[in-house]
Structure 1
């Protein structure tokens, strides 16, 4: 590298280093500077003593009982998080008082002003390191807030800002400076985070309103999501100075895309809104599709619904299919459903006794409902091996995959038949041998 004619950024760095060296020499030889150093030390020690006595008292006042969860208790716990800022902020305030004194006595206060900015940097660092817990905000503080505070301490924030503002980046017919780009990225990230956080809070509040129908809650949550992110987008455009009229061309292009290539997506989105408005299917419903697949709706999106089958598989069903095809919705959340359990008895049984025995045994199960109807045992057919019956019963919920309620009913039927010495037949065949004139059962 040619040190007689270095690159511009190297020359600028050397110039800043020379200025810093000159300032350090001036402070080292100036009585006023040493007085300001003494005031800085005194301000820090005084802030440390006050913090040592004040922080335990504040912690006791701000710490609510563990069983309190009301809004005042949450506010106290929130304020408790900011106790690590007490020392640097107290030092910052006391240093500001000392700066006024030194400027009135010596007519200058550059050293103490530097110390004051340093205490502010320590407060920012404590905020990012000890208080912020959200991963995104911590990342933003580490790579944006702390560097900005460091530049402010070194009094370089103005020159760096001017340099970024003067660096123009061309992009086709458009151009923008680096400072605008950094602001756009940071503001967009913050707007998206605030929108996501607000959406989560509103969705949690809406879903907690149990007096509302599930479909109404889903619709309200979707409407709140659209409103929140729409408002965030408008605020971001206004902050960046982008007029909304400039988005007209983009809106036209999106409209053309919807008309040609995104018809299915638009159809699914509109179908999702119709489903929410009409309440035909919502989260928690057990539905059976036209192709025979069935499952519980566990998630809804603008494009599709997610069904979970009894064996744990997830089925993604486009919203349009719920509008244009046959879908059987067995229930809303908590509604009653009727099922049946088939069985058979031997031909030697007095079948007139079977319905009473089975209905009494099934009625004793705690999940069997008596309304709208109690267990009903019916004669279905005279089968090849035995007399076929089925007991119908109502339960509160879904017997998904016939694995939840039906097995317990079958156990009750088995035990009841065994208790009354009623035989449950198994498949049998009778083989006739021509010419012998006798019938020999298998295994004889």
Structure 2
């Protein structure tokens, strides 16, 4: 068996060995290898000498936010690429010399590919900060660069293109599937980044109503991801007519099982158009849940209660149930602080004392009305009053307006020697107390 294998492959291996010995003993090999080593050492020496000065020149002050400072920070990101690219440039400069002397440049070409691989690895490892882009660089760019170094790009591509995956009546190559995954991931990452940038820009437009800003953000999101989807289909050469079956299946799915999702999506658009509830509003649902709307998605609104809990409320609930909206992005709201005074008090003095004390608080508004102290009734233990006051915001547990007003009322009553009563009871024992037996 071994004799037959040797007879078949032995001469070829001996021929390769002879070529390898001739190659190692040739001046062309050692001259090209020496040129690669000298290029790398020269680039390394340059970076050790000039690298700190370049970094210091490109590093702006920490607090600087000018266009020039941001440009310097951006250029600083490319510093890890200088070493391999400089070695590549020095090697390319000496390549013509070795080719003219020895009429050979295979080692030079291999060295240049290695330097490019080092540049790609430095780009993926040191420059990419986004987690998705870093993963793309690590698992796509670096392996492709490694295949390029060893000259296996074309064989691997041909093998992947020949590997066909059957899927019912359809079939596709592994290469097309990998290309679709990479292109779709990149396009939708770019869509997400564009959506974040556009949302930040729209949210800065303070002259727009909050509901209008949210509607603009959602509209931009739909447009951006719709365009990304169409671009992916166009780049991969997939005709949109082939999506007719998928669209029909999606319509059936909506009719049977996805109607709630579709209803919530449409309800969200109605909310944004009508502005009945938007981010920043303090609302109370028909079931008693109350909180501030901190986020509105395509399916639901997220309420944050005063104790920090999040409640996910489907958009449909804002349309078909009763919702109390206490605010509209910082509108004024009225509250009242109840208290009582003793029956020994001259109640004609109480309104002036309380209104002055509450009006002195910095958060109490004078418009639409000043603080108003009203007599509410004559209770069992004291005379009942209530002070109505307006504030700019919601007394939702975080902003304890009523608590601070009650403190002011207490201090004002104490300063004027007005007693706040407490419940008193008179107990009458019929027949008198029992006599003690002697």
Q: Does the alignment reach a TM-score above 0.5?
A: yes
Distance 1:24 1:373, change over 3 A: farther
* Partner Cα distance (1:290, 1:308) in 2: 16
Is residue 2:321 matched to residue 1:325?
yes
Aligned to 1:90: 86
Q: 1:21 to 1:405 in 2, by over 3 A?
A: farther
Aligned partner of 2:99 in structure 1 is 103
Matched, 1:148 2:144: yes
Structure 2, unmatched stretches of 5+, are: 433-438
Provide TM-score, normalisation by structure 1.
0.90
Q: How far did 1:35 drift?
A: 2.0
Q: Is the 8 A contact 1:27 1:111 kept in 2?
A: no
Structure-2 residue corresponding to 1:210: 206
Structure 1 residues 104 and 372, CA gap change in structure 2 (3 angstroms): same
Instruction: Check 1:166–1:33 CA distance in 2 against 1; reply closer, same or farther (3 A cut).
Output: same
SS at match of 1:276: helix
User: By how many angstroms is 1:401 displaced?
Assistant: 4.1
Does the CA contact (< 8 Å) of 1:27 and 1:34 recur in 2? no
| 1:312 CA drift (Å) | 2.5
Q: Tell me the matched-pair count.
A: 429
Q: Deviations over 1:189-212 (max 9, x none)?
A: 222322222222222222222222
Residue 94 of structure 1: CA displacement? Answer: 2.1
| In structure 2, C-alpha distance between the alignment counterparts of 1:144 and 1:18, rounded to whole Å | 37
Equivalent position to 1:185, from 158, 181, 185: 181
- The DSSP-based 3-state class of the residue aligned with 1:369 is coil
3-state DSSP of counterpart to 1:149: helix
**Of the candidates 62, 66, 80, which is equivalent to residue 66 of structure 1?**
62
Q: 2:37 aligns with which of 34, 41, 44?
A: 41
How is 1:391-430 mapped onto 2 (pairs within 5 angstroms)? 391-401=387-397, 404-430=400-426
Of 252, 257, 260, the match for 2:253: 257
Alignment of 1:109-128 (within 5 A): 109-128=105-124
- Pairwise mapping of residues 356-435 of structure 1 onto structure 2 (< 5 A)? 356-401=352-397, 404-432=400-428
| Separation (CA, whole Å) in 2 of partners of 1:305 and 1:291 | 15
TM-score by length of 2: 0.91
Aligned twin of 2:436: none
Q: Distance in 1 between matches of 2:196 and 2:298?
A: 17
Q: How large is the RMSD of aligned CA atoms in angstroms?
A: 2.6
Deviates more, 1:36-45 or 1:215-224: 36-45
Residue from 21, 25, 30 that aligns with 1:29: 25
Distance 1:227 1:4 in 2: 69
Which of the numbers 133, 136, 139 marks the counterpart of 2:132?
Answer: 136
Per-residue deviation at 1:183?
1.4
Q: What are the superposed Cα offsets for residues 124-153 of structure 1, whole Å, 9 maximum, x if unpaired?
A: 111122222222222222222111111111
Question: 1:227 — aligned with what?
Answer: 223
The CA deviation at 1:63 is: 2.2
Which consecutive unaligned segments of at least 5 residues does structure 1 have?
437-444
Q: Distance in 2 between matches of 1:427 and 1:259?
A: 64
Q: Partner of 2:293: helix, strand, or coil? A: strand
